[in-house]
Amino acid sequence: MTQELLLLVESNTTGTGRLFPQAARALGLHPVLLASDSARYSWAGDVEVVHAETDSTEAVVDASRCLAATRPIAGITTSSDHFVGTAAAAASALGLPAHAPEAIAAVRDKGVQRRLLAEQGVRVPRFTVAGSVDEALEAAESIGYPVVVKPVTGSGSLGVRLCAEPAETSRHAALVLARGHNERGVPVPRRLTVEEFMTGEEYSAEVLNGSVVGVTHKHLGALPLFVETGHDFPARLAPAVHDALSGAAEAAVRALGLTLGPAHVELRVDRDGPVLIEVNPRLAGGWIPRLVHEATGIDLILDTVKAFCGRASTLDATARGGAAIRFVLAPDNGVLSHLDGVIEARTVPGVTDVEIYREPGADITVAGDFRDRIGHVLARADSPAAAAAAATEGVGLIRPVLVTGMEVPA
């Protein structure tokens, strides 16, 4: 019997993308990575790679059809935020399980997404979509400072900033609007959102097939940036707050037509309850799916592959505990000489994984987004609080040592 294929349209370059081929094999599928540049993926050595111009939906559909002519395709998906629309279009063209491509396009535009959610009665911050600096300034004055300014597409806190006054808004809006391509070289709209700054703790609901699997507590770095410095799963919440967050997240994915596969729903909680920040039509980044697996035994990556192959998932927890991750952040610009304390971090009780993403000699530039994360400490324990304490202790032992290029040993 010919082995069915799972097509992966590109991947995220860090985090859980490299686990998708393992999930495919666990289900008896043969993973194939469609990529415009396989050199991006250091982990892809044992994965079949087919070249495709993935910045073109038509090219990906053509490549998928060519593969379908030789071997049956069970499903098409991606771990990358940038390619969820392409994966959906290719799957739809081949009659495979997928979201409607137009639904994905609407969700990936944060301005359109917000409008649709507001129309369906989901609470969102006050916002305006702007296409010029003048429009951004007018929106900020109307909403009231401080405001959050961010591009209408993107992930990982790229281009997101809290602006406290007009000059700052003008500078940041100009930077966002000048950016014509994302970090993958794909064209992006020259539009941004100006939105009300919501106070309160930040959480994310991890959703699969329209139902919340659990809620993550997010830790953020210092304003005016929104760099995520760590995550705890499950979030320690009063039952009523947990239910309110879950209800808001499930209402949002229903309103947006995202009841197949994963969604990562970001929310804050203030005195009036949950307010939805944004919905992402993919699994969470930052190793959150691994935290869910460590804490509950539920494998969101495996279940995502099942969803886009038309297979059922039970989502039954087989463990009960807590997991947490804390990220090693670049302290400054420079060249990475080495990191002190890595061995010591691995010996902290409860720490299950310490990983460093950058090699000695790497150029480090503080960008104010997910790229500032150069490593992580992950912990598991009987409770979320104990896991958080272990991860925090471990990351506190690690110190990146940066030097200037002239000082780096030969």
| Tokens 């099942």 belong to residue | 306
Query: What's the angle, vertex CA 45, arms to CA 42 and CA 47, rounded to 5?
Result: 115
183 exposure class (CB count in 10 Å sphere: 0-12, 13-18, 19+): middle
Please choose, from the candidates 164, 161, 168, 174, the residue with its C-alpha nearest in 3D space to the C-alpha of residue 134.
174
Digit-coded pLDDT (tens) for 161-199? 999 999 999 999 999 999 877 776 677 878 999 999 999
What integer pLDDT is reported at residue 285 of this predicted model? 86
Q: What is the mean pLDDT of residues 250-277?
A: 96
Q: Which of 108, 161, 191, 282 is catalytic?
A: 282
pLDDT of residue 187: 74
Measure the CA–CA gap between 38 and 45, rounded to whole angstroms. Answer: 9
The pLDDT value given to residue 184: 66
Assign 409 a pLDDT band (cuts: 50, 70, 90): very low
Respond yes or no: is residue 373 known to be catalytic: no
Confidence of residue 405 (pLDDT cuts 50, 70, 90): low
Distances (CA, A) of 39 to 72, 183, 355: 27, 15, 21
Q: What is the pLDDT of residues 128-169, one digit of tens each?
A: 999 999 999 999 999 999 999 999 987 777 889 999 999 999
Rounded to the nearest integer, the mean pLDDT of the chain is 93
Q: Among 28-32, 120-124, 216-220, 370-374, which stretch is predicted with the lowest mean pLDDT?
A: 370-374
Predicted TM-score (pTM) above 0.85? yes
Residues 320-353 pLDDT 10s: 999 999 999 999 999 999 999 999 999 999 999 9
Q: How confident is the model at residue 408 (pLDDT cuts 50, 70, 90)?
A: very low
